[in-house]
A and B are shown apart, each in its own frame.
Chain A
Amino acid sequence: AGPAGAQQTSQMTGMQLSNDQPIQIQSDKLEIRDQERKAEFTGNVKVVQGTTTMQAGRMVVYYKSGEGSVASGNADIEKIDVFDKVYLRSDKQEATGDTGTFNMVNETMQLKGKKVVLSEGENVFVGCQLNVAMRTGEATLDACGGRVMIQLDPKSRKQTN
Chain B
Amino acid sequence: MLNSAADTPTGAQSTGNSVEAYRLATRHSSRVRLLKIALPVAALVIGAVFAVVSIVRTYLPSDLQVESASIEDGKIVMRNPAIAGRNKDGISYSMKAERALQDMKQPDVIELHDILAKMPMNESTVAEVVAQNGIYDRGRNLLDMVAPFTIHLNTGLDAAFQSAQLDINGGTMSTDKPVSIKSSGASIVAQSLRMTDKGKVVVFEGKVVVDVDPAAIRNKEQ
Is A28 a contact of B205 with CB atoms below 8 Å?
yes
Q: How far is the CA of A23 from the CA of B200 in the complex (A)?
A: 26
* Residues of A close to B42: CB separation below 8 A: 23, 25, 39, 61, 77
Q: How far is the CA of A61 from the CA of B39 in the complex (A)?
A: 8
Is A152 a contact of B54 with CB atoms below 8 Å?
no
Is B43 a contact of A73 with CB atoms below 8 Å?
yes
Within 8 A of A (CB), among B122-169: 122, 124-125, 155
> Is B101 positioned at the interface, with any CB of A under 8 Å from its CB?
no
Q: Which A-chain residue is minimally distant from B19 (CB atoms)?
A: A157
Kindly supply a per-residue 1/0 record for chain B positions 5-33, scoring 1 wherever the CB is within 8 Å of any chain A CB and 0 otherwise.
Answer: 00000000000011101100111111111
Q: How far is the CA of A158 from the CA of B124 in the complex (A)?
A: 64
Q: How far is the CA of A160 from the CA of B20 in the complex (A)?
A: 10
Is A27 a contact of B32 with CB atoms below 8 Å?
no
Q: Which B-chain residue is minimally distant from A92 (CB atoms)?
A: B30
Is B47 a contact of A12 with CB atoms below 8 Å?
no
Is B43 a contact of A76 with CB atoms below 8 Å?
yes
> Is A114 positioned at the interface, with any CB of B under 8 Å from its CB?
no
Contacts A24-B210, A73-B48, A134-B32; is A32 near B39 (CB within 8 Å)?
no
> Is B203 positioned at the interface, with any CB of A under 8 Å from its CB?
yes
> Is B66 positioned at the interface, with any CB of A under 8 Å from its CB?
no
* Residues of B close to A26: CB separation below 8 A: 207-210
The one of B2, B26, B31, B212 in contact with A23, judged by C-beta atoms closer than 8 angstroms, is B212
Within 8 A of B (CB), among A24-65: 24-35, 39, 41, 47, 49, 52, 54, 61, 63
Q: A77 to nearest B CB, angstroms?
A: 5
> Is A132 positioned at the interface, with any CB of B under 8 Å from its CB?
yes
Q: B9 to nearest A CB, angstroms?
A: 19
Is B54 a contact of A29 with CB atoms below 8 Å?
no
A-B contact pairs, 11 of them (CB 8 A): A17-B33, A22-B212, A25-B38, A32-B203, A34-B50, A34-B201, A35-B200, A47-B38, A61-B42, A120-B26, A160-B18
A residues apposed to B, CB below 8 Å = 6-35, 39, 41, 47, 49, 52, 54, 61, 63, 69-77, 80, 88, 102, 104, 107, 109, 120, 123, 132-139, 147-148, 150, 152, 156-157, 160-161
Further pairs besides A16-B34, A135-B33, A150-B1: 12, Cβ < 8 Å = A11-B29, A16-B30, A25-B210, A26-B207, A26-B209, A29-B205, A31-B201, A32-B50, A71-B47, A75-B47, A107-B36, A132-B34
